[in-house]
Amino acid sequence: MSVTHIGAVGSDLGRIEGPAKVTGEARYAAEQDHLHDVAYVWPVQSRIAKGTVRWIDDDPIRALPQVLAVLTPDNAPRLQPPDDGELAVLQSRTVSYRGQFVAAVVAQTLETAREAAGQLQVDYDSESHDVQLTADHSQLYRPGEPDAGFVSDTDEGDVDAALETAAFSVDHTYETPAQHNNPMEPHATLAVWDGDELTLYDSNQGAYSVQQSLAKLFGLDPAAVHVLNEHVGGGFGSKGTARPNAVLAAMAARVVQRPVKLALHRHHMFAVVGYRTPTIQRIRLGADADGRLSAIAHDVVEQTSTVLEFVEQTAVATRLLYAAPNRRTTHRIARLDVPTPRWMRAPGECPGMYALESAMDELAIECGLDPIEVRIRNEPHCDPETGKPWSSRSLVECLHRGADLFGWAERDPRPATRTEGSWQVGTGVAASTYPAYAAASSATARADADGTYRVRITASDIGTGARTALTQIAAGALHVPTDLVRVDIGDSAFGQATIAGGSMGTASWGWAVTKACVELREEVERRGDIPGDGIEVRAETSAEIKARTGYTFQGFGAQFAEARVNVDTGEVRVPRLLGMFGVGRIINPRTARSQLIGGMTMGLSMALHEEGVLDPAFGDYVNHDLAEYHVATCADVTDIRAQWLDEQDQHVNPMGSKGIGEIGIVGTAAAVANAVHHASGVRIRDLPIRLDKLLGRLPTRIG
């Protein structure tokens, strides 16, 4: 099945919901103003990292004016045992990490709820905690299965022997810190009960997924849970599953028998919505005299919580990016007294590719080869891990085209040779890759007698332009202009659909929309006209997804960075970033460029700024707000350009498109780190690249 379009797919249609957002008409989870008698709940967070709640003095708080209820582990509604232990909110006195919800206050106003929660006295029986990840942690273990269903370890050939006999080799350890999701809209929920039916206005990346989770927790038929997320202000993975805020709001609403709202404070975001695990990665590469890899070894150490095992698939991209006859990857995990890590934009690929692409840069220097050339020489003709052919692969072309646009040929390969006053200037490159996933979804398409069409699907637009792209896909499949099509999203009542995550939203939803719209168009053509009561078609894609075998589906790209390092202050600036991508057919150039540039900006932020700073004494991240957790700002983002190839992929899905939400961040941090090394001669192997890591290692300015 392929999409035929008349100027819909491929055009730079502006965001359909744009006017509603800029005028304030769009309503987010915490902004629903049609409900009355709304109460507010404010959580109380644990002040210890491990132990037990011994006593809660809640009587004085219950006596305060406007306080409606105090929820504690002793009186909170009982939930069904969840698959995700983080959702067992107030079900036990056990404290598993600092910041865990241990109580909550419900009041008539937000101010009262927050003030009363701050006054609630909680005593603990504290135990010694373990929160620090080390490469030789005594409790490291091999996990059962990393995220997304990958095996934890792979081993092919004789890696150790190949490394011993390699003409060139590198053996380095790279570290990334904890990084925290901070979407513009914090996690928020408005919960309403009507008898045994629950309605949630919730900021999430998948209304259907949240519906299923909450139904199980409260022992309800899924049809009795209605989740709406028409507008979502960002997610980055942190809203990919139901979070404790949704559970707590629903519990509180059931207790006080009125609508209850919970919008998390920015401080809460650093404890209960997930974060990217810190990683310690040892990369060993061996190459022959021509720079062709004979061995790759990628060993990863990372953390999870005692509440739930979550394993970031950090070494997975290493398994397929380059050819080598001997290859080994491992993941080892430490269970610590910390919150559970979660998805954060390009989980696994992002930190893993920072390490691999930094090591490839170091190998190029050892071999005396251009960093682009060493990558091209190790291009695999098929997936090295599975032996499957690529549905399409354009890494080499991305490297060539990107190099031309960036001016790579003018580069002096010697590090620390170009200076401009007190600034040393250098350039770096790194590859990007991300899977082109798709998951089963369902959609309904309707034709009305007035010549308009309506499509409904439980998609989530988290700022990516999904609503607009799906309108274009629907119009293309229906052979009508986009202004005749309305796409409704963000409602669990529309049926099963995958989340906005894993760069698979548009691919998955678009597949279902295409199928429904093609079938509707054919039915209309068969009938010859549209009756007064319209025609409706429902389609789902589980069979098509199961049949999607025989190829490895992957997007690729090349990231180029220019870095300037001040020899007096150690300050790093990145005046230029260029990304060249091969990601199949672009549905909407305007929103695609926005996504790719956004990912690259986040990668720049990862390279230079983002770092969760752990205080081992308290077992918590001390910089838990946006004043001290630094992210890239407008001053850091100068000339960032995203380009793409006209890549044709007839195998990936009916639209020929690959996901673009995450590939932009992958490789960017490595490109920046490689550029910093080329500029200064200093190699930083632990992110972020702070000035204190450079000072004392930079050359002295002459004159």
Whole-angstrom Cα distance, residue 609 to residue 631? 6
Could you give the residue numbers annotated as active site? 662
Q: What pLDDT was estimated at residue 249? A: 98
Whole-angstrom Cα distance, residue 667 to residue 557? 9
Average pLDDT, the chain: 96
Q: Is 451 exposed, middle or buried (0-12, 13-18, 19+ CB in 10 A)?
A: exposed
Q: What pLDDT was estimated at residue 686? A: 98
For 7-32, write each residue's pLDDT tens digit: 589 999 999 999 999 999 999 999 99
Peptide bond into 688 cis (omega under 30): yes
**At residue 76, what are phi and psi to the nearest 5 degrees?**
-65, 150
Q: What pLDDT was estimated at residue 702? A: 58
Domains in the chain with CATH codes: 35-128+184-234+239-272 (3.30.365.10), 147-178+276-436+551-694 (3.30.365.10), 440-545 (3.30.365.10)
Q: What pLDDT was estimated at residue 472? A: 98
Residue 149 pLDDT level (bands cut at 50, 70, 90): confident
Q: Does residue 697 register a pLDDT over 50? A: yes
Whole-angstrom Cα distance, residue 212 to residue 200? 12
Q: What is the CA angle 63-64-68, rounded to 5?
A: 80
Residue 54 pLDDT level (bands cut at 50, 70, 90): very high
pLDDT (mean) for 407-436: 97
Q: Does residue 310 register a pLDDT over 70? A: yes
pLDDT (mean) for 43-52: 98
Whole-angstrom Cα distance, residue 262 to residue 187? 8
Residue 148 pLDDT level (bands cut at 50, 70, 90): confident
Q: What pTM was estimated for this model as a whole? A: 0.97
pLDDT (mean) for 645-657: 96
Length of the chain, in residues: 703
Q: What pLDDT was estimated at residue 3? A: 44
Q: What pLDDT was estimated at residue 2? A: 44
Which among 435, 428, 445, 507 is positioned nearest to 479, based on CA atoms? 445
Q: Does residue 1 register a pLDDT over 80? A: no
